[in-house]
Amino acid sequence: MRTQKFYSKMAAEYKLYVYAINHTKQDLVFEAEDRINALVKKYLPHGSGFDSGTKFIYGRSNYNKLLFSADFHHMDKHGCYDGWTEHSVIITPDLAFGFNVKVTGRNRNGIKEYISDHFSDIYYDE
């Protein structure tokens, strides 16, 4: 339930952001953008393979679809970095289960399930 509340908060903030843009309220645009970026930075994966962090994709999201970029830095069996895979994470509402998580990109070493798990289990404490 906490994860669902997080995505509901993100969607509400994004809706406010779009409203502010459409009504030329630049101060509200900056405030909403700051809140969205703070939520992403605090709650979404960064480090431990998500070495470039998670980024919210503003222009391709809406309040019924949240889109994130979550590229992953892989390691080989010796613990050395050996390449990146690029991923989009798409969050959509689901009447039965709260939300859906879809991860795009190459499924190197089963990484898509790992990424999905990280986006499905967020401890949102606000």
Residue 105, Ramachandran bin (φ over 0: left; ψ between -120 and 50: alpha; else beta): left
Write a three-state SS string for the chain. CHHHHHHHHHHHHHHHHHHHHHCCCHHHHHHHHHHHHHHHHHHCCCECCECCCCEECCCCCECCEEEEECCEEEECCCCCEEEEECCEEEEEEECCCEEEEEECCCCHHHHHHHHHHHHHCCCCCC
Place of tokens 């709260």: 98
User: What is the amino acid identity at position 63?
Assistant: Y
Place of tokens 């949240």: 66
Strand partners, 60: none
User: What is the amino acid identity at position 116?
Assistant: S
**Domain coordinates in residue numbering, the chain:** 2-120
Instruction: Give the model's confidence band at 126: pLDDT under 50 very low, under 70 low, under 90 confident, else very high.
Output: confident
Give pLDDT, residue 63.
86
Query: Tens digit of pLDDT for each residue in 48-85?
Result: 999 999 999 999 999 899 999 999 999 999 999 999 99
With a cut of 90, say whether residue 21 has pLDDT above it: yes
